Amino acid sequence: MKAAAEKTILYGNEKQKAYNFMYELNKPYPDQIAMMYFGARITYGKLFGTIERYAEALYESGVREGDVVTIVLPNVPEIVYLFYALNRIGAVASLIDPRTNAEAILERANEADSRLVFVIWDILQQKIDSISKKLRAEQIIVVKPSDSLGLGEIHSVEGLGVSLVYALKGFHDFKKYRFEIFLSIRNSF
């Protein structure tokens, strides 16, 4: 799967990453709507800015070209940000449908040698809790869907304008989990 990071999209005679392809086609339209999420309008300008900040946060957390990051999320804007941010830095996004059973999530994440796994805790708590001890990823990152809706409290980390998403370390009982800060971008609407 890591070889997929080296694959490129052919456009004309050029080879380029998916991020570059999308960016080049849409950079002249920063005020146009790129996507909508429950009424939130995300412009191309905001999309590209968010992708850049995600890429910086992922890189700062140790993700490098060729690394695999597993994303187990439903259709939320964060999946778009993560996919293109990973592509931007040359890492591979391994996407898993959150309806997949726990053992299949474990098998795919471990087989891909995933460095990080992104999940939405509300819908995946039981599955992740049942496989966490066997999961070889360095961290499991919890994404809050309220961030894309602009409902969460805004936190600023070192002036970067990012919100806090917590990486779970211990997996026994939800109340006993230790949370560590993972920089992620909060989409401002």
- Looking at residue 145, its pLDDT comes to 66
**What is the pLDDT of the chain when averaged over all its residues?**
75
User: SS3 string of 62-87?
Assistant: CCCCCCEEEEECCCCHHHHHHHHHHH
- pLDDT tens across 86-101, in order? 999 999 999 999 999 9
The 3-state DSSP class for residue 43 equals strand
Query: Does the predicted TM-score (pTM) go above 0.75?
Result: no
pLDDT average, residue stretch 137-154: 68
Which range is least confidently modeled, 41-45, 67-71, 175-179? 175-179
- Looking at residue 144, its pLDDT comes to 73
Give 25: exposed, middle or buried? Use CB within 10 Å, 0-12, 13-18, 19+. exposed
Cα–Cα distance measured from residue 62 to residue 116, given in angstroms and rounded to the nearest whole number: 10
- Looking at residue 37, its pLDDT comes to 85
- Looking at residue 147, its pLDDT comes to 63
- Looking at residue 149, its pLDDT comes to 62
- Looking at residue 120, its pLDDT comes to 84
Residues 89, 61, 48: CA angle, nearest 5 degrees: 45
- Looking at residue 123, its pLDDT comes to 82
More confident residue, 177 or 64: 64
pLDDT average, residue stretch 58-80: 92
